[in-house]
Structure 1
Amino acid sequence: MVSPLRLRRLVMLLALPLLAACSVPEPGNEGGIHDPYEPANRRVHEFNKSLDRSVVRPLARGYTRAVPDGIEDSIVQFGDTFSTPGYAVNRLLQGDLRGAGLNTVRFATNAVLGFGGIFDVAKEFGLPAEATDFGETLAVWGVPEGAYRVSPVFGPSTERDSAGRLVGWFLNPLDIALPRPERYSGLVARGLGGLTERGRFSDTYDSVLHESADSYAQTRLIYLQSRRFELGARSGGAPAEETFTDPYEELYGD
């Protein structure tokens, strides 16, 4: 059996080529907005906006109108259950044995008692979701955030989170253990979950992407501050009111 330390070393070797070109902010700009690729990012952002306007938004609205809320919720829950073994691996890599154990028990409970994971039975037993990702794992290891990046289709990210997304695809044991095409069921469920979110919060998405004066700057602000707050809260950092400026305050006021 591979020890947690050896597993961490193996995964870090996989991530190193992706992190080698990470950009470092200028001295004094730590914690600010580091966006040396802004011209290229803006072009990708405009592509994503066009894709959202012509494909994603109408598809999401049609999907949420056609599919009952209960079925949508079950699909979202199945996607979360499918992802839970990956959460457990990341918690293990972060040195969080408690979180790894909780995710393992949560997965087993929902997979067996939740009819393959479509119901969140574990929550009723006091086992809340312990979601995480390899971007957070890299942050725990001390890897800097790097520059802000916008990816086609996937949208806003950072160099660290982009590397985390790529490596994270190889960390879920179900993606290895299950045969094709069953291994793709989680990916499909997460994609449908994305449509659910886009459809249910359509007005909020539209206000940022299609109605703000500078949708690129607004999206960048919301992503960076939300992600930093999320990682700080999970790691037990400073209280939210000391580290987080509400990104929606500028949009909606008091």
Structure 2
Amino acid sequence: MTVKIPLIRVLPLVVAGALLAGCAAAPASQGVNDPLEPMNRAVHGVNKGLDRAVVRPASKAYAAVVPEPLRQGVSNVADVLELPGDIANGLLQGRIDRAATNTLRLAANLTLGLGGLLDFASAAGMPEYKTDFGETLAVWGVGEGPYVELPLAGPSTARDAVGTVVDLAMNPLNGLFEGDDRTAAMGVAVLSRLNDRARYSGTIDSILYESADSYVQARLLYLQNRRFALGGGDAAGDEGGDAFIDPYEDSNGQ
């Protein structure tokens, strides 16, 4: 296994983000800014069709065949693979304490957690600080921009879409793994997403297949939750609703 750090691909995007941040500190967004709605609805239709035909059946099969402890172990490994990106973004945001805590989590789960299969860090009381480059841009003062729905990735904003591209470039799969190692790591990430789809199937199905307008519902929940997570407060805008709605809360309260 060879080690290559893809900084040459990340640096231009980081510099571009810094230049955008230097223009002005953007206020917290409110309401819905969706000038691309026709295109977004088309992408939403494709994503919904893929979920119906592929993702939902695959997640059900995965949950039925693989025992829950093993599925959780795979998801734990996927979380460990994402920690380097969380650490990098924590540093870029100037949140040194969070980056340090995530570094300790990485070390603990790689060693005492048997390579990440066990979440030893959480059992030991170490918090996990999930973040991404979209949040980094928000910390730098970059505005949210219009709402967009991305193919496969789903609901997003212009700012978070740029963040997604940078996070993919910073992904350790690009720099640490090659050949069979990369294939295995990508497989772990896919299985983790299938586990999430199965775990929250009740709520996701209600949004996609039981709501009057699944596009509007998914957009509202994404904007509310994302703004809440970034400290934007009440993000319901002119569509109403609470300041925060948890789309991953099962109907039975779990």
Using the size of structure 2 for normalisation, the TM-score is 0.81
Shift of 1:226: 0.8
Distance 1:185-1:102 versus aligned 2 partners, 3 A rule: farther
* Contact 1:89/1:172 (8 A) holds in 2: no
Deviations 1:101-159 (Å, cap 9, x if unpaired)? 11111101100111111111112222121111111111111111111001111111111
* Contact 1:209/1:215 (8 A) holds in 2: yes
SS of aligned partner of 2:202: helix
Q: Aligned ranges for residues 34-113 of structure 1 at < 5 Å?
A: 34-113=33-112
**Distance (Å, rounded) in 2 between the aligned partners of 1:82 and 1:230:** 22
Deviations 1:188-247 (Å, cap 9, x if unpaired)? 222211111111222211111011111110000011101111111xxxx7699xx95244
What is the match of residue 243 of structure 2? Answer: 245
Shift of 1:29: 10
Structure 1: gaps of 5 or more residues? 1-7, 20-24
Distance 1:30-1:177 versus aligned 2 partners, 3 A rule: closer
Count of matched residue positions in the alignment of Structure 1 and Structure 2:
230
SS of aligned partner of 1:105: helix
**Distance (Å, rounded) in 2 between the aligned partners of 1:206 and 1:83:** 27
Q: Higher relative contact order by CA 8 Å / sep ≥ 6: 1 or 2? A: 2
Shift of 1:177: 3.1
The two structures, once aligned, show a CA RMSD in angstroms of: 3.0
Identity of counterpart residues, as a percentage?
44
SS of aligned partner of 2:149: strand
Deviates further, 187-196 or 110-119: 187-196
Decide which of 11, 14, 17 is 1:12's aligned counterpart. Answer: 14
**Distance (Å, rounded) in 2 between the aligned partners of 1:132 and 1:29:** 18
* Contact 1:35/1:149 (8 A) holds in 2: yes
Shift of 1:248: 6.7
Distance 1:238-1:157 versus aligned 2 partners, 3 A rule: closer
